Structure 1
Amino acid sequence: MTGTDLGGRTALVTGSSRGIGRALADGMLAAGARVVLNGRDTAVLEETRASLAATHGEGRVLARDFDVTDEAAVTLAVDELEERVGPIDVLVNNAGVQHRVPLLELDLADWERVLATNLTSAFVVGRAVARHMVPRGGGRIVNIASVQADLARPTIAPYTAAKGGLRNLTRAMCAEWASAGLQVNALAPGYIHTEMTQALVDDPAFDGWVRGRTPAARWGRVEDLVGPAVFLASDAAAFVNGQVLFVDGGMTAVV
């Protein structure tokens, strides 16, 4: 297998019922992988599975509902998938939430919830999967970061802290697991038009700021992330490790 062909590989994509996660799952299916979807809402997860299976084939799309912040549930799910489905060759840590409140008004519980979902879950799921990958001598982990790994805006402090932490968690995973044959990298999307950002797209002031701040002069589309994610999951990235690939229309390249 060469290039970006993912044929014969199994990918687990967390938070893949909708939005970016669904698009990445779809893209990996199109590249030949078998994909395990993940989410907490069983009904929505099944709808997504059925929809993708109708396009890519019933046997290539599976679903496993579990809470990525629950260590016991994660361990159980990963161990079951390894036993019943087969080795997880690719992990995409995509699950995430946003919470927009000024720092002076931010409750500790909301700070902890955002960090648990956007950062700690990548450690918990990544560790559970790596415990199988390391003895096998190979695997790919792609953490979904953000331009907020390098930039900050008012009202999203916990998200910014989490994504900055995820950037360095990616490096830490590389430092510990690269010698065992794992490639661990991060994808950092810019402002992407999804269900989660629809209210911002609909806000003329914010929409104008995004278009003006981005050299490409547009919002990103979920499809813009598929090629870079497949690249990082594939043999084409065999000597790429510990890196953060920004897919942001040039936002972080300019002042």
Structure 2
Amino acid sequence: MNYTLNSLFGVQGDVIVVCGGTRGIGREIANALADLGARLAIVATRQEACEQAAEELKARGAADAIGCAADVTDFAAVQGAFARIYEKYQRIDGLVNCAGINHVAPLLEIDMENFNHVVDVNFTGIVHCCKAAGQYMLPAHKGRIVNVSSLSALQGKAKYTAYSASKAAINGFTRALSTEWCAQGVNVNVLSPGLVVTDINRATIMANPDGYRRRIEAIPRGVPGRLEWLVSPVVMLLSPGSAHLTGQVICVDGGISTGDTFVMDRKPQDPA
């Protein structure tokens, strides 16, 4: 077999839906896919923001781009958005699920409406988007889905009960769905970022600079993540090169999920 970058990792001309693609991680991924010549559909809550993102992506070099507003917690709305995307392109090759929110509060203080809303957006929204995409991917026997989770799915953090639970649910759902769909040509994987400053956590980080510094010190690479470092794993998971890779959680976190840099600097004293 002769290998080329395009045969391994090419996404040119593919129709890829990015949910949560107007800002943060989703927007950076959409920017990269535009540069690589994909056809993009941006799904987010506000139609104006979706359309603006689509125009900017076409200006970057996307083969085409459209914006379709939908509240991911509303399955009927999500179905409608995917129907419009399919009507335009007659195919859906890839899906990246990036929509997410957080509400930081102790469990005894968080209002259950807020707790449930975090779970609905972060987890149920992904279920809705996967189900809507599957209606078109499964008959075509082709599809690549990347669900964005978080290090918080693997490591607990005080006041993050809703967020951590929603992200852990993504990992379990992805493993189950990948097993269900892989024989029909649809792969489902997870991208799990470590610490990356985005709109979802910027205010919390700015309010606690000492905690931010200590979190960075614990990362084996010694630096926080950057949006652009999340791009290449997603492109790989959307490309032909991921044909036999499904149900996996790909951690892009500077090594923190495998261990931290804490070292005992003194030997324990022998008992007297």
TM-score range, shorter chain: over 0.9
Q: Is residue 2:130 matched to residue 1:126?
A: yes
Q: In the alignment, what sits opposite 2:28?
A: 23
State the secondary structure of the residue aligned to 2:200: coil
Q: In the alignment, what sits opposite 1:182?
A: 186
Listed as ranges, the gaps of 5+ residues in structure 1 are: none
Q: Summarize deviations over 1:88-107 as a string: whole Å, max 9, x none.
A: 10011111101101111111
TM norm structure 2: 0.90
Aligned letter for 2:64? R
CA distance in 1, matches of 2:172, 2:133: 19
2:256 to 233, 251, 254: 251
Q: Is the 8 A contact 1:210 1:218 kept in 2?
A: no
1:17 deviates by 0.6
Superposition pairs of residues 64-143 of structure 1, within 5 angstroms: 64-143=68-147
CA distance in 2, matches of 1:20, 1:166: 17
Instruction: Specify which structure has the bigger relative contact order, considering alpha-carbon pairs within 8 angstroms and separated by 6 or more residues.
Output: 1
Moved more, 101-110 or 27-36: 27-36
Root-mean-square deviation over aligned CA pairs:
1.3
CA distance in 2, matches of 1:16, 1:64: 11
Q: Summarize deviations over 1:101-140 as a string: whole Å, max 9, x none.
A: 1111111111110111000111111011111111111100
Q: In the alignment, what sits opposite 1:173?
A: 177
Q: Is residue 2:86 matched to residue 1:55?
A: no
Is the helix fraction higher in 1 or 2? 1
Q: In the alignment, what sits opposite 1:45?
A: 50
TM norm structure 1: 0.95
CA distance in 2, matches of 1:222, 1:60: 23
Structure 1 vs Structure 2: percent identity of aligned residues? 33
Q: Is residue 2:220 matched to residue 1:211?
A: no
1:157 to 142, 156, 161: 161
CA distance in 2, matches of 1:34, 1:230: 14
- Provide the aligned length of Structure 1 versus Structure 2: 254
State the secondary structure of the residue aligned to 1:252: coil
CA distance in 2, matches of 1:7, 1:181: 19
CA distance in 2, matches of 1:84, 1:137: 19
- In our comparison, the structure showing a higher alpha carbon Rg is 2
Q: Which runs of 4+ in 1 moved over 4 A?
A: none
Q: Is the 8 A contact 2:35 2:60 kept in 1?
A: no
